[in-house]
């Protein structure tokens, strides 16, 4: 059971327990009373005098007399005068004194104590501070050789590993950095390389997600931080890995709510603990984030996280290494080009590439292949790109097929003439993800920085489908279909990202006025791109029609089928 489900279950248990305890304290005496018949004291005396009662039970603490008559249990008030008991005995009535009254009086208070103890235990279960799994250096098998690419990152980490192992640096007066900040988009191996560092260094490893520091109890989060570092000191040499540190390490705010104060307390505790150990203690803190700009300045200043290593999307050489790593031990057909696969996976994270290889293995089994073929990889890439499989059977009518064909033809022609990417596949076969068709491209030129021209080209390609429908409908926006919704959304996101690069101003720093300026500038970019792509498709309409006709005929086109586009 994960933490979220466990907390939900425990909170439900607390609610049920509360209801039961309240019922026990307030309603159990009433439930007993409801099963008895109340009689007046006068009637009771008459029953005694007439010999209807043989025995009574006196509860002095409750001022109550209980007795049975005619098969039912009755009760009346206890008068508590000196001769009352003598009067009953003289009437032949036996008397029993109820001595459990004191315990009955204490029962509500005992219930409250038990309830309080149970609440404490349950909260401990919700917030089990200090319950961190410590991996022994003997059990960590991950090494830098298990991490594909990242040669420069591994080189920097090898130096730090050497500093932790060798006394020569300390003897020279050099200080071992206390912390390493791994920054970069998710899915690119930050956790993996942290484990590899611990394995390569031969030290114990404690991995924790920053969300585990958050707590519903005030002060519990900072207590967890202290327990974490106490565990590390008890198991040194040790590497502490804090994933998603921005979850608790974001810039401190003036928010005076309980949550805001607790967050500030956790950050302060984290800073104190990092400052509290010496470089010679053999402890290294590694933190990972994809939102480094959100971290508190005091956390990332020199003397705390001294090293900042950026782990970005893998370059071509790393992608080739990843494909080889994930296909190691599997039979791959000789016709499969790792270089081509690296081109086809441009922009993919390390985890996405691993998923593509896994999907290719599944596809190979499905297709009855004993080796991984280029077809298996192609289907896997399509599966990951469009987030679904191509449907075997389509129920599209001829109107929708024609509209989809022109839509995808517009994407293909705009992509070919207005971007630096190569169109590799176009289809009008719908997918299980809801797409009526799709157009795929690949990047042949490995670039580290995307230019404004590249972004504008991608926006124009996104608008290509809508522009083609617009021209097909004789320049009527009323003829444009809802199939372009996802394209418009993506184009808008690209335009927003382009604004600060193109204009050289970070409008996000100007609050709401800046946001308004961003949207205005983005709208201007989108209008300009729309006009450009409409003009291009008007000029190249013969290519659009030919591509659409081929799609209606074949349904799926490869880059070889689109070779006629090169006749510019």
* H or E element that contains 426: strand 422-427
Do residues 201 and 167 lie in contact, with contact meaning Cβ atoms separated by under 8 Å?
no
List strand residue ranges (DSSP E) for 3-88, in order. Answer: 37-38, 55-59, 64-69, 72-77
Q: Is 66 helix (H, G, I), strand (E, B) or coil?
A: strand
Q: In what order do the strands lie in the sheet with 422-427?
A: 438-442, 422-427, 556-558
Q: Is 95 helix (H, G, I), strand (E, B) or coil?
A: strand
* Alpha-carbon span 500 to 12, nearest angstrom: 48
* Alpha-carbon span 280 to 237, nearest angstrom: 10
Task: With CA atoms as reference, report the closest residue to 412 among 533, 535, 553.
Answer: 533
241 DSSP β-pair partners: 207, 286
Strand 238-243 relative to strand 204-209, pairing = parallel
H-state helical runs in 473-539: 485-503, 511-539
* Alpha-carbon span 162 to 284, nearest angstrom: 13
* Alpha-carbon span 541 to 467, nearest angstrom: 11
Q: Is 139 helix (H, G, I), strand (E, B) or coil?
A: coil
Quickly count helices (H) and strands (E) in the chain. Answer: 19, 14
Do residues 187 and 351 lie in contact, with contact meaning Cβ atoms separated by under 8 Å?
yes
Show Cβ contacts of residue 479 under 8 Å, excluding neighbours closer than 6 positions. Answer: 469, 470, 472, 473
* Alpha-carbon span 17 to 307, nearest angstrom: 50
Other Cβ atoms closer than 10 A to 248: 24
Do residues 443 and 466 lie in contact, with contact meaning Cβ atoms separated by under 8 Å?
no
Residue by residue, what is the 3-state secondary structure of 31-59?
HHHHCCEECCHHHHHHHHHCCCCCEEEEE
> Six-digit token pair at 216?
């519903």
Question: Using only C-alpha atoms, what is the Rg of the chain?
Answer: 37
Do residues 496 and 538 lie in contact, with contact meaning Cβ atoms separated by under 8 Å?
no
502 catalytic residue (yes or no)? no
Q: Is 280 helix (H, G, I), strand (E, B) or coil?
A: helix
What burial class does residue 323 get, using C-beta atoms within 10 Å of its C-beta: 0-12 exposed, 13-18 middle, 19+ buried?
buried
Residue with the two structure tokens 């809508």 = 466
For position 1, what pLDDT does the model report? 47
DSSP state of 478: G
Q: Is 205 helix (H, G, I), strand (E, B) or coil?
A: strand
Strand 283-289 relative to strand 179-183, pairing = parallel
Please compute, for residue 159, the number of CA atoms within 13 A of its CA located in the half-sphere on the CB side: 11
Angle formed by the axes of helices 151-165 and 190-201, nearest 10°: 40
At 94, phi and psi to the nearest 5? Answer: -75, 145
Show Cβ contacts of residue 37 under 8 Å, excluding neighbours closer than 6 positions. Answer: 72, 73, 74, 75
Do residues 287 and 184 lie in contact, with contact meaning Cβ atoms separated by under 8 Å?
no
- Selecting among 408, 442, 517, 553, the annotated active-site residue is 408
At 102, phi and psi to the nearest 5? Answer: -60, -40
> Six-digit token pair at 239?
């590497």
* Alpha-carbon span 445 to 453, nearest angstrom: 14
At 17, phi and psi to the nearest 5? Answer: -60, -40
Other Cβ atoms closer than 10 A to 14: 16
* DSSP annotation string for 321-384: HHHHHHTTTS-B-TT--HHHHHHHTTT--HHHHHHHHHHHHHHHHHHT-SSB-HHHHHHHHHHH
**Nearest 5°: CA angle at 326, between 320 and 328?**
95
At 449, phi and psi to the nearest 5? Answer: -125, 130
DSSP state of 482: G
Do residues 376 and 364 lie in contact, with contact meaning Cβ atoms separated by under 8 Å?
yes
For position 267, what pLDDT does the model report? 82
Running along the chain, 568 residues long, what does each successive block of 10 average in pLDDT? 54 64 55 68 85 83 80 82 80 77 56 66 54 79 86 89 82 82 89 90 87 67 83 85 81 62 78 78 86 82 85 88 89 89 86 92 90 90 78 78 93 93 89 82 74 92 94 87 89 92 83 88 95 96 95 90 80
Go through 441-461 and write b for each residue having 16 or more CB atoms within 10 A of its CB, e for each that does not. bbbeeeeeeeeeebbbbbbbb
């Amino acid at each position: 059971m994960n933490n979220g489900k466990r907390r939900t279950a425990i909170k439900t248990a607390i609610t049920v327990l509360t209801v039961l305890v309240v019922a026990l304290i307030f309603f159990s005496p009433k439930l007993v009373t409801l099963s008895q018949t109340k009689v007046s004291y006068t009637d009771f005396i008459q029953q005694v005098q007439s010999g209807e009662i043989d025995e009574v039970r006196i509860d002095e603490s409750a001022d109550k007399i209980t007795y049975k008559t005619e098969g039912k249990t009755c009760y009346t008030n206890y008068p508590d005068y000196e001769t009352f008991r003598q009067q009953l005995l003289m009437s032949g009535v036996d008397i029993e004194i109820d001595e459990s009254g004191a315990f009955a009086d204490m029962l509500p208070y005992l219930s409250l104590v038990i309830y309080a103890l149970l609440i404490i235990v349950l909260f401990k279960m919700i917030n089990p501070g200090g319950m961190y799994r410590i991996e022994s250096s003997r059990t960590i098998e991950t090494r830098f050789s298990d991490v594909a690419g990242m040669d420069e990152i591994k080189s920097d980490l090898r130096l730090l590993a050497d500093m932790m192992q060798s006394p020569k640096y300390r003897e020279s007066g050099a200080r071992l950095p206390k912390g390493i900040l791994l920054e970069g988009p998710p899915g690119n191996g930050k956790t993996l390389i942290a484990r590899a560092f611990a394995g390569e260094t031969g030290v114990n490893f404690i991995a924790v997600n920053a969300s585990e520091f958050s707590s519903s109890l005030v002060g519990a989060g900072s207590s967890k931080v202290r327990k974490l570092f106490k565990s590390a000191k008890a198991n040194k040499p040790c590497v502490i890995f804090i994933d998603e540190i921005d979850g608790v390490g974001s810039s401190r705010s003036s928010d005076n709510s309980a949550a805001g104060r607790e967050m500030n307390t956790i950050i302060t505790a984290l800073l104190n603990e990092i400052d509290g150990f010496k470089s010679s203690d053999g402890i290294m803190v590694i933190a990972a984030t994809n939102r480094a700009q959100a971290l508190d300045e005091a956390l990332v200043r020199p003397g705390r996280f001294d090293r900042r290593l950026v782990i970005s999307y893998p370059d071509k050489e790393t992608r080739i290494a990843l494909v080889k790593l994930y296909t190691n031990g599997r039979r791959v057909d000789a016709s499969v080009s790792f270089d081509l696969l690296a081109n086809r996976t441009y922009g993919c994270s390390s985890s996405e590439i691993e998923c593509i290889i896994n999907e290719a293995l599944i596809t190979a089994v499905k297709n009855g292949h004993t080796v991984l073929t280029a077809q298996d990889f192609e289907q896997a890439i399509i599966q990951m790109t469009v987030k679904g499989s191509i449907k075997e059977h389509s129920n599209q009518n001829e109107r929708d097929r024609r509209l989809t064909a022109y839509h995808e033809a517009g994407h293909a022609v705009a992509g070919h003439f207005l971007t630096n990417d190569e169109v590799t596949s176009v289809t009008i076969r719908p997918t299980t993800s809801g797409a009526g068709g799709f157009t795929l491209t690949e990047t042949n030129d490995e670039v580290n920085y995307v230019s404004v021209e590249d972004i504008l080209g991608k926006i124009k390609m996104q608008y290509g489908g809508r522009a083609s429908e617009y021209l097909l409908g004789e320049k009527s926006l009323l003829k444009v279909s809802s199939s372009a919704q996802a394209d418009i959304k993506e184009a808008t996101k690209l335009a927003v990202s382009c604004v600060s690069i193109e204009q050289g101003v970070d409008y996000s720093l100007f609050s709401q006025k800046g946001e308004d300026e961003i949207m205005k500038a983005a709208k201007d970019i989108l209008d300009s791109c729309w006009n450009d792509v409409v003009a291009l498709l008007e000029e190249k309409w013969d290519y659009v029609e030919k591509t659409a006709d081929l799609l209606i005929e074949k349904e799926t086109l490869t880059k070889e089928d689109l070779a006629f586009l090169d006749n510019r």
